[in-house]
């Protein structure tokens, strides 16, 4: 996103236009009027990454335009980053400028922060990191009061921790999360809270057990757990599975089972086409769970066709999408058996064309699970 697009004075107008485009895209599915959840117009991103540009003795954070990927654009001010990252950026740059060990062959800098006030900086190099670098980085971590991760080819050096701690007040409770460096997390923490609360409001009307695909670090899973008897949450990325399990234990939640499976593998398991040894971790057979609700938050590609067909077997589906176009593709199938009962738009990415959407689908009474399977 070019910073020239950032215009807080026009934020509400830009949001309204984006909402109109998304509403027009999904209008053929006859959704109800959407609930709109705006972002703060500035200081909303909890992650940021920049290339480091070396020119003589000078260093700069830079980004590149899509239409001109070879010309660096110096970044002196990054108003969309959260306040902690904005404060860290000049302090880190001054420290790098003053230390040859830290700046030599430095290629990229990544920031990760939380609403709880925790922060981590990743420094990516085109050279091997030796003991002298580690000593300098440890002093930098102390000076900036952050954790630092140094990365180079086949090398990772951790000063402090390789994760940050987040604490989110949700539904009259507070949930703590570990967020690992270079693992997926929602970039706009306050809009993320609105998404979680919206999903939990839908779940509050339901019962039985929940199947969740793409659970990540348990972002939605933990708060949803209070609305279901049991949750089977699946995720493929090892670091996210690790974080989800640690977060479940840290929040003292006992009704979640986290299994490392892809969405395609879950579909095969639900149809009893394959037996997966990892499902032996469940305290009872998969078929013995009362799985009435499906929750999905897929990547931008949306749900594959087999998973969409499997979804049609569920009486209720809570679908959070980061891509309205692939959501529309999936709704072409899902709306053959289900209707959209609630619709929401969450502006995770102000000043861009991206819009996060939520749809709550319930199966139409004229369609049974067998009908959905035969579609």
Q: Is 322 an annotated catalytic residue?
A: yes
Burial class (CB in 10 A: 0-12, 13-18, 19+), 308: buried
Catalytic site residue from 166, 212, 235, 356: 356
Exactly one of 322, 332, 335, 373 is catalytic; name it: 322
Catalytic annotation present for 82: no
Where in the sequence numbering do the catalytic residues fall?
A: 322, 356
């Amino acid at each position: 996103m070019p910073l020239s697009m950032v215009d807080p004075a026009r934020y509400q107008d830009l949001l309204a236009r984006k909402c109109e485009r998304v509403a027009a895209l999904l209008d053929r599915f006859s959704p109800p009027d959407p609930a709109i959840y705006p972002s703060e117009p500035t200081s909303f991103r909890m992650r940021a990454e920049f290339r480091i540009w070396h020119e003589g003795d000078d260093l700069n954070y830079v980004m590149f335009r899509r239409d001109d990927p070879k010309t660096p654009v110096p970044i002196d001010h990054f108003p969309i980053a959260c306040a902690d990252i904005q404060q860290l950026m000049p302090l880190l740059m001054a420290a790098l400028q003053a230390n040859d060990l830290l700046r030599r062959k430095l290629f990229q800098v990544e920031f990760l922060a939380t609403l709880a006030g925790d922060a981590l900086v990743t420094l990516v190099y085109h050279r091997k990191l030796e003991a002298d670098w580690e000593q300098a980085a440890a002093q930098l971590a102390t000076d900036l009061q952050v954790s630092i991760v140094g990365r180079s080819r086949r090398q990772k050096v951790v000063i402090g921790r390789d994760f940050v701690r987040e604490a989110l007040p949700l539904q009259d409770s507070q949930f703590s999360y570990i967020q690992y460096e270079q693992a997926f997390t929602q970039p706009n923490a306050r809009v993320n809270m609105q998404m979680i609360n919206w999903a939990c409001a839908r779940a509050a009307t339901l019962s039985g057990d929940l199947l969740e695909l793409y659970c990540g670090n348990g972002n939605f899973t933990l708060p949803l757990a209070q609305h279901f008897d049991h949750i089977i949450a699946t995720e493929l990325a090892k670091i996210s599975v690790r974080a989800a399990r640690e977060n479940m234990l840290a929040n003292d939640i006992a009704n979640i089972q986290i299994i490392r499976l892809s969405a395609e593998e879950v579909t095969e398991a639900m149809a009893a086409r394959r037996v997966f040894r990892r499902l032996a971790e469940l305290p009872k057979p998969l078929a013995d769970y009362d799985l009435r609700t499906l929750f999905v938050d897929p990547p931008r590609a949306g749900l594959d066709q087999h998973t969409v067909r499997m979804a049609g077997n569920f009486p209720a589906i809570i679908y959070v999408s980061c891509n309205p176009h692939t959501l529309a593709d999936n709704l072409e199938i899902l709306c053959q058996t289900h209707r959209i009962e609630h619709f929401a738009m969450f502006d995770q990415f102000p000043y861009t064309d991206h819009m996060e959407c939520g749809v709550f689908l319930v199966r139409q009474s004229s369609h049974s699970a067998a009908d959905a399977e035969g579609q």
